[in-house]
Structure 1
Amino acid sequence: MDSQDAVPASPHGAAVEAEGFGVKGPRGWAFRDVGFRAEPGSLVALEGPSGSGRTCLLLALTGRMKPTAGHAEVGGLRLPRKMAAVRRISALGHVPGVSELDPAFTVLEHLRERALLQRRYDGSVRALLRSPAQRTAAARDRIEAALTASGLDLDALPKAERTSVRDLERLEALRLSVALALIGEPRLLAVDDTDLKLSDTEREEAWALLRSVADAGTTVLAVCSEAPADALRITTSTTTAAKATDTGAETEAEPEAETGSETEDAPADTEGSPTETEDAPADTEDDTVDNTEEGAADALAETGRA
């Protein structure tokens, strides 16, 4: 191939774009009419009160919950049609009930397990043909790189790498969950409850961590109750549509119209299979009832495997 015809390398992080995006549960909309655009390597904060559909939006944007209205694109992959492909380029950090740390495992056990799963399911044929020593060295390098990126200092833990998860502080557990996600070198990292039960100082450290991951090129989606000033804020509410506010230099956002939800029961489709799905038509009915916490809870309860 002539050098002039070579395809330029794409950025590592995935651009994320949504238009009229929504998920509806049996008792109402989990979220609706979300619209924004985030460039690769952006820090996107999904901000709002508990029950306002933040986690459902996080799961839908990572291909783990099927939307029922509108569409989104992650790294050029259109949702809901390319849900399986989006799952392959994204990774979940801490998401309660979906992607959680095992309190009985040690930090080392978690890291080894994730590296083994990564090698088994996501490795190339060439990687599988390496000698055991080469595979072990490659896994060790991935773990060390992920620990460095997450800022988790094993030597500072009570029992170093053999510390049980149940003995970790909240911020340490967050760092571990991020490290585990980064072992797979995802283009999109998603983290739930980023600032839950953290002091002001710990909250600043948590955002500094996610900001450093984004600065290194990985796009970050983070659910929170209060977003930092430099993030692209997508604000969800139980009474209005998600509103995007662009406060960073690298992103664009579009304001959203007010929204509501229907009272008529309609089951939400959630991801339960690795096969790809067809685009869902946008909901065009004129709704008058606001989003409900029950709608978000129902949609989340029907989520398929992570």
Structure 2
Amino acid sequence: MTAAVPQPETETEPASVPAPEPEPGPTPPPLLEAEGLSLVGPEGPVFTDVSFAVEPGRVTLLVGPAGTGRSSLLLALSGRMQGTTGLLRHHGRPVRSRRDLRNLRRASAVARAAELVVPEARLSVAESVAERALLDGVRPAAAERAFVAAEELLDVRLDRTLLVEQLPAYEVTALCVALALVRPAELVVLDDLDADLDLTDQRRLLDALVRLAGGSTGTGGTAGPAVVATSTEARATHPDALLVPLAPPQEDR
């Protein structure tokens, strides 16, 4: 009878344990946060107790009738209006000092703001691009490339030879936005989105602004600038745009 030969013991490998999921990092703050933002001018309150957040790569639409301080609020959000009370944060940092305001101005671009920032009616489109490039310190070739990219997003091709006053209303607003994009910015503000536009063009423009903010520029999917626009009515809406109603300013009692 043959004795059984003992077999060598074999080591069994332990079952692989999946690596733990990495813990999510802290949520970055909004691009801008307004908390109780107010402004009082020589003739009384301009806007009072405004609170909302502006997220990167999103469109925020401020809606209110005349007298709600829309234009002044846009200037305050872009660092171009002093004398506000309440709190404004830029990337989580309170905007208080002159340096803070200067940093906010550098990070933002004004497409249109009442009669303060508008294209010169008697300039041609080409002259308007050249003027904006000069004001923003951008080389002409780089400004033209940025302008053309903005035209594509805004679904227009502007005739460079036409005067601004010869353009249809949609093209005037598109020109304002495209000029603001000549210099890279993380925030673009546009006053009176609905100025002289029918509902179809308002929707067309809002869709274009959402594309712009979402970064649909063929540059790898990076987010575009946040856009804050004003309108007198919320006739044109978009599921990806935040709607912020503005109330008339309240007198202190």
- Range class of TM-score, shorter chain: 0.7 to 0.9
Which of 253, 258, 261 aligns to 2:251? It is: 261
How far has the Cα of 1:26 moved from its partner?
A: 2.0
Cα distance in 1 between the residues matched to 2:144 and 2:194 = 30
Quote the offset at 1:202 in angstroms: 1.0
1:221 matched residue in structure 2:
228
- SS, match of residue 178 in structure 1: helix
The alignment-based identity, stated in percent, is: 35
> Residue 115 of structure 2 aligns to which amino acid in structure 1?
G
TM-score computed with the length of structure 2 as normaliser: 0.77
Aligned to 1:65: 81
Rate the CA distance shift 1:62–1:136 in 2: closer, same or farther, 3 A. closer
Higher-Rg structure is: 2
Moved more, 70-79 or 192-201: 70-79
Which position in structure 2 is the counterpart of 1:50?
66
2:33 is aligned, of 9, 13, 17, to 17
**Cα distance in 2 between the residues matched to 1:100 and 1:16:** 24
Matched, 1:86 2:104: yes
- Residue 167 of structure 1 is matched in structure 2 by 166
Q: Could you say what secondary structure the match of 1:93 adopts?
A: strand
Displacement of 1:144: 2.3
3-state SS, counterpart of residue 123 of structure 2? coil
The secondary structure found in structure 1 opposite 2:112 is coil
Partner of 1:250: none
| Aligned residue in 2 for 1:194 | 193
Distance 2:84 2:146 in 1: 37
Amino acid at match of 2:126: L
User: 2:129 — aligned with what?
Assistant: 111
Q: 5 Å matches for 1:201-212? A: 201-212=200-211
- Matched residues in 2 for 1:136 and 1:205: separation? 29
Query: Aligned equivalents of 1:210 and 1:139: distance in 2?
Result: 19
**Structure-2 change in CA distance of 1:68 and 1:207 (3 Å):** same
Per-residue CA distance 1:67-94 (angstroms, 9 max, x = gap):
4311111334532421111010100112
- Structure 1: gaps of 5 or more residues: 1-10, 121-134, 155-159, 240-259, 263-286, 288-306
- Provide, for residues 275-298 of structure 1, a one-character-per-residue CA deviation record: whole Å limited to 9, x for no partner: xxxxxxxxxxxx3xxxxxxxxxxx
1:35 aligns with 2:25: no
Normalising by structure 1, report the TM-score.
0.65
Equivalent residue number for residue 237 of structure 1: 247
Unaligned runs of 5+ in 2: 1-27, 216-223
1:17-50 deviation per Cα after TM superposition (whole angstroms, max 9, x unaligned): 1111111112321111111223211211111111
Structure 1 residue 138 corresponds to structure 2 residue 139? no
In 1, Cα distance between the equivalents of 2:34 and 2:78?
Answer: 12
